[in-house]
Structure 1
């Protein structure tokens, strides 16, 4: 029985990056051998075991054979006669198909790997040096999730390029309908991970180039070629703008809900005919409807749906909030449910800031609406509603009249906050 460290842990150590979770492959063993040595079986689809001490995953070397379209159509063969090279040949990318014998793994996490001991039958080290994402073998085509995984790696390793033969293979897979058979959970999992990488725009650029974006997110794919209304940058279309917004959100270390809201906020600009310009008029409501379709299709979590809906509907009003008086600002806060959910409103403002600054040459400009509206929200939250309600009841007020008294007090508090913000240097 031989044990090897494989995959991301080896790749990242060779790149000098912080260590990934360690995955191990076991050659020459059976499930009975593993359990006899204290390993705990946990694999549902193929033999995976937890180490009795470290609890790290150890998988038996295996091969896979395609048996049906899509992600789930595989027959797995795990047996003592499966070699390490056979196991590595089924992996997605050459940079993830490098192994190191367990005996050669340094005990100290900071120690360099002994490259002479690496097992690299498919040229992964060469592609790491050349900054290339390349499929290992034709087995890549058997799992359409690998298209999404490669696009996610492109977002993580932004200076890597996709090998031409790999891009051609992905296009063939898309044309053959493999992407159509993907299950929602896996699509969302990979999209969410890609949004959280350092350059999420690269994921969408790769998906667009191979044709998968128009299958998975046609609402986003349609945004390329739609001109932005900004007269100072007429050459920039909405798709390019969207990529700038996503990358700015990543630089600002925004949360996943914020990044998803950034992705969804302009969908409505891609749904009108080319001669119906300007396309941005009324796009907020169209965007809100389209994002709900996307969320239902890929089963996006409710928390993300709600924030994206707020941003889609209200980002134009938030951008123009300097023109609103105190009563209108309070109505905006109420539509965004900001008084009940101030944390979510703060995230909505960050998404709007990314939208406003996500333009060529304008990334560093300030975004005054964010500070102004946060100050207004703080003022509205500071109003003590219980004494107001009791006083109104003492005057004989009921129901709507009590709500009107609270709203009047909040409007006055917001007005004072806006005046203070206007006087601030």
Structure 2
């Protein structure tokens, strides 16, 4: 069944079919969007289930999965909602054939998400000015019901990161009103929004939007602890630790699309938020404190294992790697990177974003690694070498091989 056939069958039953949500928004923005969600007005659940042989998959209201145009799409009956509790499940939904599309759109989060396309014909239904918001690059709440689901505050911040739009002052106030419930939201919902934000063109805008709304500490207290923390002015251009972290995240995102690397950039300086105030602007030992902060972060929302491992490596080594000169230490670091499965290009992205330059072994990592592999392949232990001395002997030979590489370059 294609979309035209679907719309025709709904109309024949006395209903009206609409495309809603992100597909409508993205079409106006000019972004590709394959998934379509549909809303049906004018029919009841029994008619829809009987005529299309579907069963509801929604817990609180009728939502159906139906193949349209070769794709499985969500189809819902038009509904209104009333806040009756806390969190994203604290709603009472009302759905009936007399619910209009305008009433259905009114319950949605932002005006650019509160548009529909009438089928057939393709007429845009835009009762709240979503198209104008897109043209003006602004994110604006549809109504005061924005705060009914606290994760909408995260979603607005995430859309700012994805689209580069600003958030209207009134919507920032509504985001602030979500603070109390947001702190009690399931960690997986918070993580899902953070992950999408990290994959965005401007991930730092997600976190700065949460800061501006005064809710960063409700969901990411380790990051909020960086706000106002002084750093050495000469090396950090007068930026506090939070502003520096956002700058590093922005520069890292320009170098790599990988979420794990961007997350490592986000958390690389968490330990500065735990430096005693009397020690400012210096942060000796913030690497160890950063690892402790990462543990708390991971304890609150379990991170993907590759994210966690790479973040630990970068927190522990982001100050050390740019300064490595001793060849034995470089041999050890390259070995640690290989054992951990850490891509040298991703390590380099965070170091470059943080320090502005790379040490020679990261600039020429492939050459260093090839020399180590060649030397390791030709090594043979002396017959009289005790087993307990073999590790040190190998590292010394590998360091000598790197010394030859460095001398060749000179």
- Tell me what 1:318 maps to: 321
- Tell me what 1:352 maps to: 351
- Tell me what 2:391 maps to: 403
Per-residue CA distance 1:307-360 (angstroms, 9 max, x = gap): 000000001111112xx22112122334xx223244444422322222123xxx
- Tell me what 1:23 maps to: 37
Q: Whole-Å Cα distance in 1 between the matches of residues 361 and 76 of structure 2?
A: 52
1:209 Cα offset (Å): 1.0
Per-residue CA distance 1:39-58 (angstroms, 9 max, x = gap): 46443443222223431222
- Counterpart of 2:277 in 1: which secondary structure? coil
Cα 1:17/1:258, change in 2 over 3 Å: same
1:232 Cα offset (Å): 5.4
Q: Whole-Å Cα distance in 1 between the matches of residues 140 and 286 of structure 2?
A: 39
- 1:141 to 2:147 alignment: yes
- Does the CA contact (< 8 Å) of 1:151 and 1:202 recur in 2? yes
- Does the CA contact (< 8 Å) of 2:226 and 2:273 recur in 1? yes
- Tell me what 1:111 maps to: none
Per-residue CA distance 1:252-294 (angstroms, 9 max, x = gap): 2330000000000001112123321343211111111101211
- Does the CA contact (< 8 Å) of 1:292 and 1:305 recur in 2? no
1:247 Cα offset (Å): 1.2
Alignment of 1:10-409 (within 5 A): 10-19=24-33, 21-35=35-49, 36-39=51-54, 41-52=56-67, 53-105=70-122, 117-158=123-164, 160-174=165-179, 177-231=180-234, 233-321=236-324, 324-334=325-335, 337-357=336-356, 368=360, 370-384=362-376, 388=379, 391-392=380-381, 395=383, 399-409=387-397
Per-residue CA distance 1:367-413 (angstroms, 9 max, x = gap): 6552144533343344445x74xx43x83656434434433333233
Cα 1:375/1:224, change in 2 over 3 Å: farther
Q: Whole-Å Cα distance in 1 between the matches of residues 407 and 341 of structure 2?
A: 21
- Counterpart of 2:310 in 1: which secondary structure? helix
- Counterpart of 2:278 in 1: which secondary structure? coil
**Structure 2: gaps (5+ residues):** 1-14
Per-residue CA distance 1:98-146 (angstroms, 9 max, x = gap): 10012134xxxxxxxxxxx211111112222222211111211110000
Q: Whole-Å Cα distance in 1 between the matches of residues 79 and 385 of structure 2?
A: 74
Equivalences, count: 393
Root mean square deviation of aligned Cα: 2.4
1:197 Cα offset (Å): 1.0
- Does the CA contact (< 8 Å) of 1:63 and 1:77 recur in 2? yes
- Does the CA contact (< 8 Å) of 1:249 and 1:351 recur in 2? yes
- Counterpart of 2:206 in 1: which secondary structure? helix
Cα 1:320/1:40, change in 2 over 3 Å: farther
**Structure 1: gaps (5+ residues):** 106-116, 358-364
Q: Given the two structures, how large is their TM-score scaled by the length of structure 2?
A: 0.88
Q: Given the two structures, how large is their TM-score scaled by the length of structure 1?
A: 0.85
- Does the CA contact (< 8 Å) of 1:40 and 1:51 recur in 2? no
